[in-house]
Amino acid sequence: PNRDCAALASNGELRISEGGFERYQNEYIAGITEIVGDSKYSGIRIVAVIEVDSLPNLVTNIDEADCQEAAGAGGYVDGIQHALNELSKIPNVYSYVDIAHSGWLGWSDNFSEAVTLIGDAILATDNGANSIAGFASNSANYTPVTEPYMQDPNLQVGGNPIRSSDFYEWTQYLEELQFVQAWRQAMIDKGFPSTLGMLIDTGRNGWGGANRPSGASSSTDL
């Protein structure tokens, strides 16, 4: 309910104020678990990526009215906990909770707040840390997995650090791999198992093809 509360393009059909949490439980999650819980699929490993952009919005966009509502009863935490509780009953389903991407939660304050909010939400589920297989990042976003030619986010280009560019928006991470490795370790430090896996979406990162960079840029234009 109140899906992607800070985005005009994906506000979602279900509204918390209109019984959205109950519909989410009874019409959405129940429908998914009925399908994936069918015994004929028991030999298939099924991956579920849980509610992209939801919990991260509670970290950075709480000034939005829709996000304020989503932070309360019947909102993102309640919904995601319900989804994890139901999916974790099915042993061949592996749930990965969305953690946005490095350009969103890569700032130090955002990172630490997100680790607390998202970690606490998962730990409060019926199975706690065991209700997930790991986390998913960069969903439908643009950050390359690795940046072999730009390793220093504070490298000066045209008088400003690389991380101050519009693309990086002051994040500490220039590649998604470093971000997810830092996130994974932070969650392990919080009490999650060392078996945590990390999924990175590469569908839109533009890192490949005939024009792939072969070395560091010499440009002085940030």
**Mean pLDDT score across all residues of the chain:** 94
166-208 pLDDT per residue, tens? 989 899 999 999 999 999 999 999 999 999 999 999 988 877 7
- Kindly report which listed range (81-90, 110-119, 211-220) carries the lowest average pLDDT score: 211-220
CA 112 – CA 118 distance, rounded (Å): 10
- HEC profile for 34-80? HHHCCHHHCCCCEEEEECCCHHHHHHHCCCCHHHHHHCCCCCHHHHH
Q: What is the pLDDT of residue 44?
A: 97
The set of residues, in sequence order, having a beta carbon less than 8 Å from that of 189 and lying 6+ positions away, is: none
pLDDT of residue 13: 86
CATH class, domain 16-146+175-200, is: alpha beta
210 pLDDT above the threshold of 90: no
Asked if pLDDT for residue 152 goes beyond 90, the answer is yes
Give the domain ranges of the chain. 16-146+175-200
Catalytic residue selected from 53, 66, 78, 98 = 53
Q: Are 56 and 114 in contact (CB under 8 A)?
A: yes
Kindly report, residue by residue over 8-65, the tens digit of the pLDDT.
766 678 999 999 999 999 999 999 999 999 999 999 999 999 999 999 999 999 999 9
The CA distance from 20 to 3, in Å, is 10
Residue 53 a catalytic site member: yes
